[in-house]
Amino acid sequence: MSLPCFVANWKMNKTVAETLSYLTLCQQWLSKLPRLSCEIILAPPYTALFSAGNKIKELSLPIGLAAQNLYFEAEGPYTGEVSGRMLCEAGCQYVIIGHSERRNHFNENDSTITHKVQAALGANLTPILCVGENAKERLEGKTLQVIQRQVKEGLSRMDGGASHCMIAYEPIWAIGTGKTPTPFEVEQVHQKIARTLIEIGFKQRAPVIDILYGGSVSVENVAAFMKKPHVDGMLVGGASLSAETFMNIVQVGIGA
Protein backbone atom coordinates (compact mmCIF):
# COMPACT_ATOMS: atom_id res chain seq x y z
CA MET A 1 0.00 0.00 0.00
CA SER A 2 1.27 3.48 -0.82
CA LEU A 3 0.90 6.31 1.70
CA PRO A 4 -2.22 8.50 1.62
CA CYS A 5 -1.61 11.42 -0.66
CA PHE A 6 -2.75 15.05 -0.38
CA VAL A 7 -2.36 17.33 -3.36
CA ALA A 8 -2.89 21.11 -3.19
CA ASN A 9 -3.98 22.50 -6.55
CA TRP A 10 -3.60 26.26 -6.25
CA LYS A 11 -4.91 26.88 -9.78
CA MET A 12 -4.15 30.48 -10.90
CA ASN A 13 -3.28 31.72 -7.42
CA LYS A 14 -0.14 32.83 -5.55
CA THR A 15 2.93 34.79 -6.53
CA VAL A 16 6.50 33.59 -5.92
CA ALA A 17 6.63 35.51 -2.62
CA GLU A 18 3.34 34.00 -1.46
CA THR A 19 4.55 30.52 -2.43
CA LEU A 20 7.71 30.93 -0.37
CA SER A 21 5.76 32.14 2.69
CA TYR A 22 3.44 29.14 2.33
CA LEU A 23 6.45 26.80 2.33
CA THR A 24 7.81 28.45 5.48
CA LEU A 25 4.47 27.75 7.20
CA CYS A 26 4.62 24.13 5.96
CA GLN A 27 8.10 23.80 7.42
CA GLN A 28 6.91 25.06 10.82
CA TRP A 29 4.02 22.61 10.79
CA LEU A 30 6.16 19.69 9.66
CA SER A 31 8.78 20.38 12.33
CA LYS A 32 6.13 19.73 15.00
CA LEU A 33 5.26 16.27 13.67
CA PRO A 34 7.16 13.23 14.91
CA ARG A 35 6.95 11.63 11.45
CA LEU A 36 4.95 12.11 8.29
CA SER A 37 2.76 9.18 7.32
CA CYS A 38 1.49 10.63 4.06
CA GLU A 39 2.63 12.21 0.84
CA ILE A 40 2.12 15.98 0.41
CA ILE A 41 2.27 17.53 -3.04
CA LEU A 42 1.87 21.20 -3.93
CA ALA A 43 0.86 22.41 -7.39
CA PRO A 44 1.71 26.14 -7.68
CA PRO A 45 1.35 28.05 -10.95
CA TYR A 46 4.20 27.74 -13.51
CA THR A 47 5.86 31.00 -12.45
CA ALA A 48 6.42 29.80 -8.87
CA LEU A 49 7.60 26.24 -9.62
CA PHE A 50 11.32 26.88 -9.85
CA SER A 51 11.51 28.92 -6.64
CA ALA A 52 9.29 26.40 -4.85
CA GLY A 53 11.51 23.52 -6.02
CA ASN A 54 14.62 25.32 -4.74
CA LYS A 55 13.04 26.17 -1.39
CA ILE A 56 11.85 22.57 -0.88
CA LYS A 57 15.42 21.37 -1.54
CA GLU A 58 17.02 24.04 0.63
CA LEU A 59 14.76 23.22 3.60
CA SER A 60 14.78 19.44 2.86
CA LEU A 61 10.99 19.43 3.07
CA PRO A 62 9.19 16.11 2.48
CA ILE A 63 6.94 17.79 -0.09
CA GLY A 64 6.47 16.86 -3.74
CA LEU A 65 6.02 19.42 -6.49
CA ALA A 66 3.45 19.24 -9.28
CA ALA A 67 2.75 21.40 -12.31
CA GLN A 68 -0.88 22.02 -13.25
CA ASN A 69 -0.41 21.23 -16.93
CA LEU A 70 2.18 20.48 -19.61
CA TYR A 71 2.38 20.34 -23.39
CA PHE A 72 2.98 16.98 -25.03
CA GLU A 73 5.75 18.06 -27.40
CA ALA A 74 9.29 18.15 -25.98
CA GLU A 75 10.27 21.52 -27.53
CA GLY A 76 9.62 23.68 -30.58
CA PRO A 77 7.45 26.48 -31.93
CA TYR A 78 4.56 26.24 -29.43
CA THR A 79 4.25 29.75 -28.04
CA GLY A 80 3.11 29.80 -24.46
CA GLU A 81 3.58 26.10 -23.79
CA VAL A 82 5.84 24.25 -21.35
CA SER A 83 7.22 20.71 -21.77
CA GLY A 84 7.75 17.85 -19.33
CA ARG A 85 11.54 18.23 -19.47
CA MET A 86 11.22 21.89 -18.46
CA LEU A 87 8.98 20.95 -15.54
CA CYS A 88 11.48 18.34 -14.33
CA GLU A 89 14.24 20.93 -14.48
CA ALA A 90 12.08 23.30 -12.41
CA GLY A 91 11.89 20.60 -9.70
CA CYS A 92 8.58 18.86 -10.47
CA GLN A 93 7.99 15.15 -9.96
CA TYR A 94 4.26 15.28 -10.81
CA VAL A 95 1.93 16.97 -13.25
CA ILE A 96 -1.85 17.40 -13.15
CA ILE A 97 -3.39 16.47 -16.50
CA GLY A 98 -6.91 16.88 -17.85
CA HIS A 99 -8.35 19.01 -15.06
CA SER A 100 -11.97 19.86 -15.91
CA GLU A 101 -11.05 23.57 -16.00
CA ARG A 102 -8.59 22.77 -18.79
CA ARG A 103 -11.09 20.53 -20.56
CA ASN A 104 -13.78 23.26 -20.35
CA HIS A 105 -11.89 26.55 -20.78
CA PHE A 106 -9.08 25.35 -23.05
CA ASN A 107 -10.85 22.67 -25.08
CA GLU A 108 -8.70 19.78 -23.97
CA ASN A 109 -10.15 16.46 -25.03
CA ASP A 110 -9.38 12.81 -24.29
CA SER A 111 -6.99 12.67 -27.25
CA THR A 112 -4.91 15.66 -26.10
CA ILE A 113 -4.97 14.29 -22.60
CA THR A 114 -3.68 10.83 -23.52
CA HIS A 115 -0.75 12.45 -25.36
CA LYS A 116 -0.02 14.54 -22.28
CA VAL A 117 -0.05 11.46 -20.02
CA GLN A 118 2.39 9.77 -22.38
CA ALA A 119 4.62 12.85 -22.52
CA ALA A 120 4.63 13.15 -18.72
CA LEU A 121 5.73 9.54 -18.29
CA GLY A 122 8.35 10.02 -20.99
CA ALA A 123 9.77 12.92 -18.99
CA ASN A 124 9.75 10.87 -15.74
CA LEU A 125 6.86 12.83 -14.26
CA THR A 126 3.99 11.10 -12.49
CA PRO A 127 0.73 12.14 -14.15
CA ILE A 128 -2.25 13.01 -11.96
CA LEU A 129 -5.04 12.35 -14.43
CA CYS A 130 -8.31 14.12 -13.58
CA VAL A 131 -11.66 12.64 -14.52
CA GLY A 132 -15.21 13.59 -13.57
CA GLU A 133 -18.77 13.87 -14.78
CA ASN A 134 -20.75 17.10 -15.14
CA ALA A 135 -24.10 17.80 -13.45
CA LYS A 136 -26.14 16.74 -16.50
CA GLU A 137 -24.29 13.44 -16.86
CA ARG A 138 -24.81 12.76 -13.17
CA LEU A 139 -28.55 13.47 -13.42
CA GLU A 140 -28.80 11.16 -16.40
CA GLY A 141 -27.12 8.37 -14.41
CA LYS A 142 -24.07 8.33 -16.70
CA THR A 143 -21.37 8.92 -14.07
CA LEU A 144 -19.72 5.49 -14.18
CA GLN A 145 -19.85 5.38 -17.97
CA VAL A 146 -18.18 8.82 -18.30
CA ILE A 147 -15.49 7.98 -15.77
CA GLN A 148 -14.71 4.66 -17.43
CA ARG A 149 -14.33 6.36 -20.82
CA GLN A 150 -12.10 9.12 -19.48
CA VAL A 151 -9.84 6.66 -17.64
CA LYS A 152 -9.55 4.33 -20.66
CA GLU A 153 -8.86 7.18 -23.07
CA GLY A 154 -6.51 9.00 -20.73
CA LEU A 155 -4.34 5.95 -20.14
CA SER A 156 -4.60 4.50 -23.63
CA ARG A 157 -0.96 5.31 -24.44
CA MET A 158 0.35 4.15 -21.10
CA ASP A 159 2.15 0.85 -20.75
CA GLY A 160 -0.21 -1.14 -18.48
CA GLY A 161 1.19 -1.81 -15.08
CA ALA A 162 4.69 -0.47 -15.59
CA SER A 163 4.49 3.16 -14.60
CA HIS A 164 3.35 5.17 -11.65
CA CYS A 165 0.24 7.29 -12.08
CA MET A 166 -2.51 8.89 -10.03
CA ILE A 167 -6.13 9.33 -10.96
CA ALA A 168 -8.21 12.07 -9.38
CA TYR A 169 -11.98 11.71 -9.44
CA GLU A 170 -13.33 15.26 -9.49
CA PRO A 171 -17.05 15.59 -10.24
CA ILE A 172 -17.31 18.91 -12.08
CA TRP A 173 -20.44 19.97 -10.19
CA ALA A 174 -18.56 19.55 -6.89
CA ILE A 175 -15.62 21.82 -7.78
CA GLY A 176 -15.74 25.09 -5.84
CA THR A 177 -19.44 24.68 -5.05
CA GLY A 178 -19.43 23.33 -1.51
CA LYS A 179 -21.43 20.34 -2.82
CA THR A 180 -19.97 16.84 -2.77
CA PRO A 181 -21.05 13.31 -3.58
CA THR A 182 -21.52 11.11 -0.52
CA PRO A 183 -18.50 9.04 0.59
CA PHE A 184 -20.48 5.98 -0.57
CA GLU A 185 -20.86 7.45 -4.08
CA VAL A 186 -17.16 8.33 -4.20
CA GLU A 187 -16.26 4.79 -3.17
CA GLN A 188 -18.45 3.39 -5.96
CA VAL A 189 -16.71 5.55 -8.56
CA HIS A 190 -13.26 4.68 -7.20
CA GLN A 191 -14.13 0.98 -7.35
CA LYS A 192 -15.18 1.44 -10.95
CA ILE A 193 -11.85 3.14 -11.69
CA ALA A 194 -9.99 0.25 -10.02
CA ARG A 195 -11.94 -2.30 -12.11
CA THR A 196 -11.32 -0.29 -15.28
CA LEU A 197 -7.58 -0.29 -14.56
CA ILE A 198 -7.58 -4.07 -14.31
CA GLU A 199 -9.61 -4.31 -17.55
CA ILE A 200 -7.03 -2.25 -19.42
CA GLY A 201 -4.10 -4.29 -18.21
CA PHE A 202 -2.98 -3.00 -14.85
CA LYS A 203 -2.51 -6.25 -12.95
CA GLN A 204 -2.69 -4.71 -9.51
CA ARG A 205 -4.13 -1.34 -8.63
CA ALA A 206 -1.80 -0.67 -5.71
CA PRO A 207 0.86 0.55 -5.44
CA VAL A 208 1.22 1.86 -8.99
CA ILE A 209 -2.04 3.77 -9.19
CA ASP A 210 -3.41 5.98 -6.43
CA ILE A 211 -7.02 7.12 -6.73
CA LEU A 212 -7.73 10.54 -5.22
CA TYR A 213 -10.98 12.42 -4.67
CA GLY A 214 -11.33 16.15 -5.37
CA GLY A 215 -14.22 18.63 -5.21
CA SER A 216 -15.04 20.88 -2.22
CA VAL A 217 -12.78 18.90 0.13
CA SER A 218 -12.72 20.52 3.58
CA VAL A 219 -11.58 19.91 7.15
CA GLU A 220 -15.15 18.82 7.88
CA ASN A 221 -15.59 16.19 5.15
CA VAL A 222 -12.07 14.80 4.58
CA ALA A 223 -12.20 12.07 7.25
CA ALA A 224 -15.37 10.49 5.85
CA PHE A 225 -13.85 10.26 2.36
CA MET A 226 -10.49 8.97 3.59
CA LYS A 227 -12.19 6.14 5.52
CA LYS A 228 -13.30 4.51 2.27
CA PRO A 229 -11.03 1.66 1.17
CA HIS A 230 -10.54 2.77 -2.44
CA VAL A 231 -9.84 6.41 -1.56
CA ASP A 232 -6.06 6.89 -1.47
CA GLY A 233 -5.96 10.65 -1.05
CA MET A 234 -7.37 14.08 -1.80
CA LEU A 235 -6.91 16.73 -4.48
CA VAL A 236 -7.76 20.00 -2.76
CA GLY A 237 -8.47 23.30 -4.52
CA GLY A 238 -9.82 26.34 -2.66
CA ALA A 239 -9.16 24.98 0.83
CA SER A 240 -5.47 24.45 -0.01
CA LEU A 241 -4.82 28.16 -0.53
CA SER A 242 -4.38 28.65 3.20
CA ALA A 243 -1.39 26.61 4.44
CA GLU A 244 -3.05 26.26 7.82
CA THR A 245 -6.31 24.89 6.41
CA PHE A 246 -4.50 22.53 4.04
CA MET A 247 -2.32 21.19 6.86
CA ASN A 248 -5.46 20.70 8.98
CA ILE A 249 -7.03 18.74 6.14
CA VAL A 250 -3.92 16.57 5.92
CA GLN A 251 -3.86 16.02 9.67
CA VAL A 252 -7.55 15.11 9.90
CA GLY A 253 -7.26 13.02 6.73
CA ILE A 254 -4.50 10.80 8.05
CA GLY A 255 -6.29 10.53 11.37
CA ALA A 256 -3.38 12.18 13.17
Determine if 226 is a binding residue for ligand 13P (CB under 6 A): no
Nearer to ligand 13P, 52 or 97 (CB): 97
Least CB distance from residue 152 to ligand 13P, whole Å? Answer: 21
Q: Of 154, 160, 106, nearest to 169 (Cα)?
A: 154
Give catalytic residue positions: 99, 170
Give the residue closest to ligand 13P by C-beta. Answer: 237
Tell me how far apart the alpha carbons of residues 6 and 147 are, in angstroms, rounded to a whole number.
Answer: 21
Nearer to ligand 13P, 103 or 230 (CB): 103
SS3 string, the chain, reads CCCCEEEEECCCCCCHHHHHHHHHHHHHHHHCCCCCCCEEEEECCHHHHHHHHHHHHHCCCCEEEEECCCECCCCCCCCCCCEHHHHHHCCCCEEEECCHHHHHHCCCCHHHHHHHHHHHHHCCCEEEEEECCCHHHHHCCCHHHHHHHHHHHHCCCCCCCCCCEEEEECCHHHCCCCCCCCHHHHHHHHHHHHHHHHHCCCCCCCCCEEEEEECCCCCCCHHHHHCCCCCCEEEECHHHCCHHHHHHHHHHHCCC
Site string for ligand 13P, 6-35 (x = CB under 6 A): ---x--------------------------
Determine if 216 is a binding residue for ligand 13P (CB under 6 A): yes
Single out the residue of 236, 243, 247, 250 in contact with ligand 13P (rule: CB under 6 A).
236
Least CB distance from residue 58 to ligand 13P, whole Å? Answer: 27
Ranges within 162-191 binding ligand 13P (CB under 6 A): 170, 175-176
Find the part of the chain contacting ligand 13P (CB under 6 A) among 20-28, 114-122, 197-205, 212-220.
212-220
Single out the residue of 127, 215, 233, 253 in contact with ligand 13P (rule: CB under 6 A).
215
Tell me how far apart the alpha carbons of residues 156 and 247 are, in angstroms, rounded to a whole number.
Answer: 35
Nearer to ligand 13P, 91 or 237 (CB): 237
Nearer to ligand 13P, 237 or 253 (CB): 237
Question: By rule CB under 6 A, what count of residues binds ligand 13P?
Answer: 14
φ, ψ at 83 (rounded to 5°): -95, 170
Least CB distance from residue 59 to ligand 13P, whole Å? Answer: 25
Site string for ligand 13P, 81-100 (x = CB under 6 A): ------------------x-
Binding positions for ligand 13P, rule: CB under 6 A: 9, 99, 170, 175-176, 214-217, 235-239
